Homo-oligomer: A and B are copies of this chain.
Amino acid sequence: MNIPELIKANHERKYFFHFNENPKAYPENLQAEGLTLFQKKLNTNYTLPAENKNNAFYGEEISPYMQTGLGIHYPKTDVGTLVANAEKSFDVWRKLSVDQRFNILYETLEKISHRFFEIAYATMHTSGQSFLMSFQASGPHACDRALEVMTTAYEQLTYFPDEVEWVKNMGKFDLKLQKTYKPVAKGVGLVIGCSTFPTWNTVPGLYADLITGNSAIVKPHPKAVYPIAIFIEEMQKVFMAHNLPAEIVQLAIDSVENPITKQLAEHDSIKLIDYTGGNYFGNYIESLGKTCFTEKAGINSVILDSCENLDSVAQNLAFSVSLYSGQMCTAPQNIYISGDGVKTPARHFTYQEVVDKITASIRGLMENPKAAAPTLGAIQNDQTMSRIAEKVRSNSATAIQLDVKVENAEFSGARIQTPTIITAEAGESGKYLEECFGPLIFIVKTANREESLSIVRDSARTHGAITCLAYTTDKDFMHQVEDEMNGVFTPVSFNFTGAAFVNQHAAFSDLHVSGGNPSGNATFTNTEFINKRYIWIGNRYML
């Protein structure tokens, strides 16, 4: 771990990973050990180093694979105590140097990396992600995102020198002043997690708060606590080993029925809020007037104009829309195709042929017994099932339901749902212009590619978009798509086939959420994600 090298890598944006994403790269026994640790944790109280003696314990997680409760109960601390602890520990933590904080936080990542397999099982049985995605997203990818944040922050926090002798020639004499520059942390941060990516979406804000000298309270989704509890446990242990208060980071537990998030968010002492989740609550967070970083939802679109090979495109789309059953914030939802169809060098495909090809590709993936279950994972919660079912019911006339039953060999009770395709005319915007989280996509027939682009651009501006995927072999149209979509602050991925999927955003290379459209106001990780968490103060001393 070499900070200047990390800073260089962060600027270069080439692929870089510090924590290996391949579970097979780790000692063979670790997976079995992780499973054992996971199984031992079921139906127990999860104790944390910072636990108060008189804590109640509470938990309500349900495995989307087993559809039974995990029975793990976490220490439940009241809001007043959490905030008081956070303020006390802030007053210690803020005084450490940037280097001290970097080294201590790096040590927490190392310790966390020893528990990647348990974290994978914890993620799998809360989020419904497949084992591989659980391992990668919640372990190495999350830790790489944390390291990216720390690296960006290290550079920003040392932007000005600690002190300087300032000399101004005044003609007959020199005026000399000592000037110091200090990044002063804002106070206590609240990090609000989501149920589908319980560490990947939480860790950037958490480490951004901590590296800049703030203390943090993590309020995970009550249905997805376990993965981030492991992070917090390891972090608290490291803090204590350095004779620091464990409460520099704390876990806040609530229930779906009695949430405490608003009470925390509105507390005067909470100065920073990181939020991942739905738009309604996200807009409320933004309305509080505090420094906040939101990742909400958007409608991600695909413009399919022309391509080299339609089969490759259909396969790529099939995987992207099926991966984790469309429960990724980066998953495409609406595919726009001109009524004239799609040009390829081989031949011209009619609109209906393209719809059929996409449908066939998804069906093919679902009929592949080795690929289907690991691609889909499981549906995180019942509400997604019923919301999708309702949407399909109300659009039954144009809904293409795949008559395929996907089984998970290991978990016969897994909550599985294959993707449904609903076709729509461009004019029927009421049908397709809302976010439908889960295994549901729309294919929208437009007058021409210009109309496709126009709808996609307006959709991004109005409803937000985290990603946009475009297929075109026409350079001019490519530039037009890029310019117009970038103008509404939406990044575009062009002509992705093979192993390139629009869903994936790599640390140290891809910015995640632009912060410029309604899908969120922040980015993993630009300098603004760091700099809003502290204030530069310059003091001056007469010499």
Contacts and interface: CB of A to CB of B under 8 A. Distances in A.
A181 interface: yes
A528 B522 CA distance: 13
A23 to B, nearest CB: 13
A188 to B, nearest CB: 13
A494 to B, nearest CB: 5
A503 to B, nearest CB: 12
B164 A539 contact: no
Number of copies: 2
Interface in A480-516: 482, 486-487, 489-500, 506, 509-511, 514-516
Interface string A508-543: 011100111000000100111001100111111110
A179 interface: yes
Most chain B CB atoms below 10 A, which of A13, A161, A531, A535: A535
Nearest to A155: B159
Interface magnitude class on chain A: 35 or more
B516 A14 contact: no
B539 A179 contact: no
Given A184-B487, A482-B539, A497-B542, 4 more contacts: A159-B527, A166-B509, A491-B539, A516-B535
A186 interface: yes
Contacts of A516: 184, 186, 535, 537
Contacts of A486: 182, 184, 537, 539
A78 interface: no
A73 to B, nearest CB: 38
Interface stretch (A167-175, A258-266, A354-362): A167-175
Contact of A161 (B13, B15, B511): B13
Interface string A147-164: 000000000100111001
Interface of A: 11-15, 156, 159-161, 164-168, 170, 173, 175, 177, 179, 181-182, 184, 186, 482, 486-487, 489-500, 506, 509-511, 514-516, 523, 526-528, 531-532, 535-542
A441 to B, nearest CB: 21
Contacts of A509: 164, 166, 179
Contact of A164 (B12, B160, B491, B528): B12
A489 B535 contact: yes
Nearest to A94: B487
Given A514-B535, A515-B535, A500 B184 contact: no
12 contacts: A166-B509, A186-B516, A489-B535, A490-B537, A491-B537, A492-B540, A494-B542, A500-B540, A511-B538, A516-B537, A523-B536, A527-B527
A538 B515 contact: no
Shortest beta-carbon contacts, A-B, top 4: A516-B535, A495-B542, A493-B540, A489-B535
Interface centre among A12, A173, A527, A542 (most CB of B within 10 A): A542
A406 B156 CA distance: 49
B539 A159 contact: no
A294 to B, nearest CB: 13
